Structure 1
């Protein structure tokens, strides 16, 4: 799979970038960049695809995404207004020797992991105001806040690991993958056949199946399953709808099938998942 390579320019008189992106500039294609990304959601909600992981995002969520890890944030409704605060920085933005200092060991270890993580609990509460400070700071203060934030993340275990050691060999744009993901996000609540999605990609079914599995690290139907379960989780935690109704609204026609796939993804039943958020 070939991925859009996004070029990120540092802020003027800074070695890294810290910016707010709003609709329509918030919406991105499936892309990657060598810069590490620390991103918090300021407004809106939707579905994120980070490496091979599908999850929902909402206001105040904070993600840390390794350099060259492909990702895509897609809002739930076309008319929704979204905005995010994003910090982009490279591993050597401080100079080649800075991370070799003994005091930087924690940050060096954090950056060596090819992970995508979702910050949780006290860690998220610490990083959210720090990012707001970082956005308005200038000069040395801005750099020190970034170092402090990375040190805080590196010494904590209060995060959810989304993807680990995801390797994407692509270096350019392939329109097929954008079509596949875009079509899937729009139609995952409907019955989707391999014939249908292979036609979208302009491939034969065997070619499409190999293409998708090789690059997303899962089958296409596992990908659709993850989109549907993510949608069900959003309904379970944001509404009081009966679980059976949520089953049908998440693209399933069989309670047994929904229950089985929910357990496969979340390692608990839908009722247990809802109960932990009550």
Structure 2
């Protein structure tokens, strides 16, 4: 039975945190770690699965995740290289009392809210991403100052979405974490075929009816909707690679173009042709 993985993280030499500019896995990686994590990804359309929250991002995403929150790697399912920057650190990375200083009250609250998973948009995402992109060229002390500026920007931003209504790091959720890992692994391997809800229910030792109730509670959608979500996400990345709508449709397990167009529009608010034209037009302007 596939298990959720504990990612072991060691700070960079001579620093109190870890900065990675190349963390691409592409394959399924449902994991957690005791560190806080900033993730910025750019250059693809991916799945944002943090705790019990499941949605899509388009072109770029900026996330701040608290300790022990299970999450999927943000480059999962992408068939091409993307830019990705990851910062990982412990809550006491600057000492036990650092966050208790009165000047740190906003950042202390940011760290508290990160336990629910936070996604940032707009000017906040643009400004923070530019700072993250420049960090690797800075000396260690300047990197630390830059990181504190990033935390301040996040802490005072109004362009933020809380992803979960409850914390997802409690040990009692371990069984849920493991079950979701099994489910994702199965869908990842079979989305282009015909994933069978009865099969995956047996894999997690539940009746089909109990599994359907459980899955809706965990993700807010039916298993069929989840499979279509994964298929459309894969299709979007094929379109971003300039594949045809037909290729994107049939390569991701849809039998009919009309149904593919219907599901795509439902999830994205536009049909596949319009999505592809808009993205390629924006990319030419960049």
Shorter chain as denominator, the TM-score bin is 0.7 to 0.9
1:231 alignment counterpart: 234
- Per-residue deviation, 1:152: 2.0
1:197 alignment counterpart: 200
Task: Count matched residues.
Answer: 271
For 1:14-57, what per-residue CA distance to the aligned partner results, in whole angstroms no more than 9, with x for missing partners? 33222345566x86631112322112348988655333324367
Task: Give the direction of change, closer, same or farther, for the CA distance of 1:236–1:84 in structure 2 (3 Å limit).
Answer: closer
1:108-127 alignment runs, 5 A limit: 108-113=108-113, 114-127=115-128
Task: Give the direction of change, closer, same or farther, for the CA distance of 1:28–1:223 in structure 2 (3 Å limit).
Answer: closer
Q: Distance in 2 between matches of 1:187 and 1:201?
A: 16
More helix by share: 2
- Per-residue deviation, 1:9: 2.6
Q: Distance in 1 between matches of 2:274 and 2:156?
A: 31
Show structure 1 runs of 5+ residues with no match: none
Task: Give the direction of change, closer, same or farther, for the CA distance of 1:228–1:166 in structure 2 (3 Å limit).
Answer: farther
Tell me if structure 2 keeps the 8 A contact 1:56–1:230: no
1:91 alignment counterpart: 91
2:148 alignment counterpart: 147
1:231-270 alignment runs, 5 A limit: 231-239=234-242, 241-242=244-245, 246-254=248-256, 257-266=259-268, 268-270=269-271
2:5 alignment counterpart: 4
Q: Distance in 1 between matches of 2:24 and 2:124?
A: 27
- Per-residue deviation, 1:146: 0.9
Task: Give the direction of change, closer, same or farther, for the CA distance of 1:259–1:132 in structure 2 (3 Å limit).
Answer: closer
Question: TM-score w.r.t. structure 1 length?
Answer: 0.73
Q: RMSD in angstroms over aligned alpha carbons? A: 3.9
Q: Distance in 2 between matches of 1:49 and 1:35?
A: 18
1:32 alignment counterpart: 32
Q: Secondary structure at the match of 1:85?
A: strand
Q: Distance in 1 between matches of 2:29 and 2:36?
A: 17
- Per-residue deviation, 1:117: 4.5
1:128 alignment counterpart: 129
Tell me if structure 1 keeps the 8 A contact 2:24–2:84: no
Q: Secondary structure at the match of 1:86?
A: strand
Q: Secondary structure at the match of 2:39?
A: strand
Tell me if structure 2 keeps the 8 A contact 1:40–1:128: yes
Question: TM-score w.r.t. structure 2 length?
Answer: 0.72
Matched, 1:185 2:160: no
Q: Distance in 2 between matches of 1:69 and 1:15?
A: 21
Show structure 2 runs of 5+ residues with no match: 282-286
For 1:104-148, what per-residue CA distance to the aligned partner results, in whole angstroms no more than 9, with x for missing partners? 233233222244455545434433342244335454333211111
- Per-residue deviation, 1:184: 0.6
For 1:224-275, what per-residue CA distance to the aligned partner results, in whole angstroms no more than 9, with x for missing partners? 1221232343345553734x76444443335564455445433x23266556
2:101 alignment counterpart: 101
2:284 alignment counterpart: none
Q: Secondary structure at the match of 2:49?
A: strand
1:20-99 alignment runs, 5 A limit: 20-22=21-23, 29-41=29-41, 47=47, 49-51=49-51, 52-55=53-56, 61-73=61-73, 74-77=76-79, 84-99=84-99
